[in-house]
Chains A and B, each alone.
Chain A
């Protein structure tokens, strides 16, 4: 392939974009807006996933110790807990600490506790689990195992809530995936139609270029390059508008996050490839070369 020709190919795409800037801007705008829907959807998914993650991150298993088993047995239990598969961290919560926390939780009503002659709360170990252990069957198995031990009164982790939460998360991901697929397909549909119109619009130009003996790569490449450029600009537009949405939402939901730089770059790259591929397909369908 001749080097000049490659240069001219880029020149052609530049001319095409430049001379019909209005049309190019409109089609990029249409592409950008439909990509914005995808971006907002991805943002929602991301933030809900982060929320779910955080919630499960905060979950702790409480292992309550029988009163009066003595320090040695208590320490043995701690060591065994640490040795268990999937346990990340074991923190001792003494009964007095527990009472303080309880009092704080009660707030103004904490006077009620003053009526108690002695602390009714047991000592406990608070377990933080590894992330991949956060499944109801795993936790149930683990809890059952620990409850058998001597000196352990009870194991608690809010089983009912956890199971319900887990079901909800599963359901959410299924719905999210289906919804995502629909949005994705419609975005591709809109983009390919927009690109197809641009190419149809340039049919005369293509005929002329064919007539003067351009090789098919010379005819196709400018469109592919143009498609990629439009994809990139549309992706940046969508990300920009998406960021604006995020920025305003952030005031009301301070916990939410935006895409990381890598993810954003990946999105731009994806749109570039999408634009190029869609352009190529449209060319193939319309122009017998």
Chain B
């Protein structure tokens, strides 16, 4: 598995059936250490399912998932927590504990590792400063704006320096300004060496960044290419092997009316 870059997440011939009508079919992808990848597709394409499989909340029917040293076919139930500690996870709905302060929410990720209280305080202070929320450390999540809550969630996800950050529609509930802040934060996290895999349905949002984009449609990986941004992404989609779904997405202009 060692090429010039170390592969931190590998998915090989993954199949997963969920319910009667949906399945992920033969997914193959690799994410290298420190890479930033967008996982794009309309809702229902299987992005969340794929991410859940990556943090092994769900197990594949066949095929294999490798995250760092953990292999889905061999992992034991009681080692899943150690896997989770090297994977940070962020959701659209933030998933903060509402009756705990910002500080406590972030500290939780370190407490479960058994770190000392002084160490926890230092790290949490550091990360909260970096997401510009240190002054709100004693607030409870409901008192924060959506963007702020998501920044807390990201702080919690990365405070123990995971190798990978999985973000499932992290900007789905946010206005454009907050979206921009969150994305910038994710880039910053990535610049610190953490590989980031961010799922979103919003093609327009990610087209301008020049990062690698993986397209997922109806449970299949339809396109995976390192992209350098030149011109309009939609044209690039058109001249690749694009499904009708992408056409429809383009026609609907799903991001055009959104908040801007």
Contacts and interface: CB of A to CB of B under 8 A. Distances in A.
Interface of A: 2-5, 8, 11, 15, 19-20, 204-205, 207-216, 218, 289
Contacts of B104: 15
Nearest to B109: A212
Given A15-B100, A19-B99, A204-B97, A212 B156 contact: yes
B114 interface: yes
B111 A207 contact: no
A284 to B, nearest CB: 14
Contact of B81 (A15, A19, A214): A214
B96 A208 contact: yes
Contact of B84 (A8, A11, A204, A213): A213
The 6 A-B pairs with the shortest beta carbon distances in the complex, nearest first, are A213-B84, A2-B114, A213-B85, A214-B112, A19-B99, A5-B114
Interface of B: 55, 77-78, 81-85, 87, 89, 95-100, 104, 108-109, 111-117, 156
Given A4-B115, A210-B84, A211-B84, 11 more contacts: A19-B99, A204-B98, A208-B97, A211-B55, A211-B95, A212-B84, A212-B85, A212-B109, A212-B156, A213-B81, A214-B112
Q: Is the interface of A mostly helix, strand, loop or mixed?
A: helix
A213 B82 contact: yes
Contacts of B117: 4
A20 B98 CA distance: 11
21 contacts: A4-B114, A4-B115, A4-B117, A5-B114, A8-B111, A15-B99, A19-B100, A204-B95, A207-B95, A208-B95, A210-B81, A210-B84, A211-B84, A211-B95, A212-B156, A213-B81, A213-B83, A213-B85, A213-B113, A216-B78, A216-B81
Given A2-B114, A5-B114, A204-B95, A212 B108 contact: yes
Given A15-B104, A19-B100, A204-B97, A211 B111 contact: no
Given A4-B115, A4-B116, A216-B81, A211 B97 contact: no
Nearest to B84: A213
A20 B108 CA distance: 18
A15 B116 CA distance: 18
Contacts of A215: 78, 81, 112
Nearest to B162: A213
Contacts of B84: 210-213
A12 to B, nearest CB: 8
Contacts of A211: 55, 84, 89, 95
Nearest to B95: A208
Nearest to B94: A208
A212 B113 CA distance: 9
